[in-house]
Amino acid sequence: MLTRLRLALTGLVDLLLPQHCVGCDVAGTAWCRECAGRLGGLRRVERPLLSDGPPVFALGRYRGAARRAVLAYKEAGRRDLAAPLAAQLAVALRSITLERAWPGEWWLVPAPSRAVASRRRGGSHMGRIARHAAEALTASGTPARAADCLVTAPGAADSAGLSPQQRADNLAGRVLVRPNRLPPAGTRVALLDDVVTSGATAAGSAAALSRARRPVSVVLALTATAG
C-alpha cells in the first residue's frame, strides 16, 4: 500500500513540476545530452568473478552524473529515466552487434533484485529498462525482446558493505530461473545490469542461465565501479 501511494505521489509531482536533469539539474529534460554523454563511453569491465564468463561492458563509471542517474532511477522513483537510460544501452548493444557481426534476434534478460527491493521500487527496475531497450533496438533495425526470467531466492542479504567474496557467497545458488519466462533455446542472450561492483550478480545470473542452457553472449551494464 505504501509503495503504491509513493509511486502515485511521484507521478503527481512529475505532472505538476517541470522536469529537471537528474545529472545537472538543467530544466526541461530528465536526462540532458551533456550528462548522457558521460554515460556513453563503452568500456570492457574486468573482475575476477567474471573471468570465466561472457564479456562484460559498461557505459560509464559509477560516479558523478552517471551515479546520480542510477540512484535516482533505482531508489528515488525517477521512472522517467527508464527510457533514456535504456536507449543508451540499446545503442551500445547495437554497436557490439555490428562490430562482432552477430546475426539474429536478441533476448534481453534483466539482472534480478531481491524481492523486497523490487517491491520497494514498484517492480523490477532492470526489467523496465530491458523492455524499453528491446523496443529501442527493434526500432533501430535489430530485433529484440525482453525476458524477465531471473529471480533472487529468499536468504540473499543486501550486498552493501560486503566484500567481493562475501557478495559471491551471498548469491551462491540463489539466482534462479523462471522456466516459463526463459528465452527460446538457441537465441542470443544479453544480460542487463545497472552497476557492476564485484561482478557477483552478473556471474550468478550468467551461471543460472548457462545451467538452463541459455548461455549469455554479453553482459551490458549502465555503470561499473572502479574495481
Minimum mean pLDDT among 139-143, 160-164, 180-184, 207-211: which range?
160-164
Rounded Cα distance between 7 and 11, Å, is 6
Name which of 100, 203, 205, 204 is nearest 148 in CA terms: 205
What is the distance between the terminal CA atoms of the chain, rounded to a whole angstrom?
38
Query: What is the third-level CATH fold of 39-224?
Result: Rossmann fold (3.40.50)
Tens-digit pLDDT profile for residues 78-116: 999 999 999 999 999 999 999 999 988 999 999 998 767
Confidence of residue 227 (pLDDT cuts 50, 70, 90): confident
DSSP state of 92: H
Tens-digit pLDDT profile for residues 107-140: 999 999 876 766 777 778 999 999 999 999 999 9
User: Contact at 8 Å (CB) between 126 and 82?
Assistant: no
Going from N- to C-terminal start, the domains of the chain cover 39-224
User: Contact at 8 Å (CB) between 79 and 128?
Assistant: yes
